[in-house]
Every structure is written in C-alpha cells, then in structure tokens.
C-alpha cells in the first residue's frame, strides 16, 4: 500500500477540527475528563501540535465548553422573524427537546463548567445561561434592563427541562404542552415584575 497523503489544514480549520472532536467526546464524558492524547490521535496530530493551538488543557476545555454553549444557543433559537411570545414559545420547545435528546451531555456542560470557570478569567467564559438569555432578549424585544430576570428565567427553564426529561419518555408528551405554556407565561410575569 502507498502512503496516505495528508491534507494541510489552515490554523482555523485545525482548531475547528480539534474542538469538534472534543464536542463529540463531550457527549460521552465530562469535559474535564477529555483525554488530550485521544483527541490528538483522532485528529492525526501530535500532542505538541494540539498544544500549539491550545497552550493549556484548560484553554482546550474552555474552547469545547464555549462551542457546546454556542451550539445549544443556536439549536434553541427561534426561527428568523419570529418575535414576542411566539419566539419565547419556540425557545422553550426547542430547549425542552435539546435537554431531552442530550440530557447527560447537557448536565455535563452545565455542571462541568465550574472547574473551568474557576481556573480562567471569569469574564472570558460566557455561560450557557447567558447565551440563551441573549437569544431571548434579541428575539423578544425586551429591554436590556430585563437581562437579570431573563437570565434567572433561563435557570428556571433549565430546571424544569431537566426534571421533565428525567421522566419516562412515554409520559412526557402529555406534560409537554402544559410545561411550554407555563414557562412561556413565567417569562412574561417575571419580566413584568422586574421592570415595574
């Protein structure tokens, strides 16, 4: 057999490849348990090259967590042009679906951020809740002063979604519509109280 030719990647493509491998492995285990040796082997690069792109293990983990957060925020975003309560409703429905589909990796993402956040500049780590709150603010037209209330609502939505997704799948359907209505109304009530 002939030697396989390697395609040279741009630095940005290589970074994306390495983070993508981390995202796939993140489904299987918490980010802090990702083996950089496994990532390097799968990418077909040396561990030293991986450290060229991410100088520390913490920086690599942070990049994976941030990419996972961006992915969740994109997934739960409402359709373009949808605003107000209809946008909130779509966010709630998509959030519930996301957590139900990927409950273990979602829990690992949310709970696994703490060690990373403590070891890096807190301003450099944008939390998943912050990203989802920004999606909600952008699609609802709520005033920026509503951000703390929206951020708190995202934490509440997350709690409801985790509880709902822990129930057997066959019994979720009957509760889903009521949960969507409840969470949609909750945001309206919370932001109304916050700005009054």
Domains along the chain with CATH numbers: 11-195 (1.10.357.10)
pLDDT at 7: 63
In tens, the pLDDT along 46-73 reads: 999 999 999 998 889 888 888 888 888 8
In tens, the pLDDT along 125-140 reads: 457 888 899 999 999 9
In tens, the pLDDT along 7-44 reads: 688 999 999 999 999 888 877 776 677 789 999 999 99
Q: Kindly state the tokens that stand for 30.
A: 């918490």
Question: Is pLDDT larger for residue 114 or for residue 64?
Answer: 64
> What is the four-CA torsion angle of 27, 29, 32, 38, rounded to 10 degrees?
-90
Q: What's the per-residue H, E or C state across 6-36?
A: CCCCCHHHHHHHHHHHHHHHHCCCCHHHCCH
Calpha distance 87→166 (Å, rounded) = 25
pLDDT at 123: 39
Calpha distance 26→42 (Å, rounded) = 14
């Amino acid at each position: 057999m002939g030697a396989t030719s390697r395609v040279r990647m741009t630095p940005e493509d290589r970074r994306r490849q390495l983070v993508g491998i981390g995202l796939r492995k993140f489904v299987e285990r918490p980010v802090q348990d990702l083996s950089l040796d496994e990532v390097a082997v799968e990418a077909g690069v040396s561990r030293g090259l991986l450290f060229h792109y991410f100088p520390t293990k913490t920086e690599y983990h942070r990049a994976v967590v941030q990419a996972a957060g961006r992915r969740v925020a994109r997934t739960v975003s409402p359709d373009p042009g949808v605003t107000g309560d209809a946008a909130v409703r779509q966010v709630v429905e998509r959030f519930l679906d996301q957590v139900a589909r990927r409950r273990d990796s979602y829990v690992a993402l949310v709970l696994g951020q703490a060690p990373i956040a403590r070891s890096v500049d807190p301003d450099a780590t944008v939390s998943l809740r912050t990203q989802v709150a920004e999606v909600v603010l952008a699609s609802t037209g709520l005033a920026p002063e509503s951000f703390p209330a929206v951020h708190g609502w995202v934490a509440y939505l997350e709690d409801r979604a985790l509880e709902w997704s822990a129930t057997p799948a066959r019994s979720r359907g009957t509760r889903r519509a009521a949960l969507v209505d409840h969470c949609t109304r909750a945001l309206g009530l919370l932001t109304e109280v916050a700005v009054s």
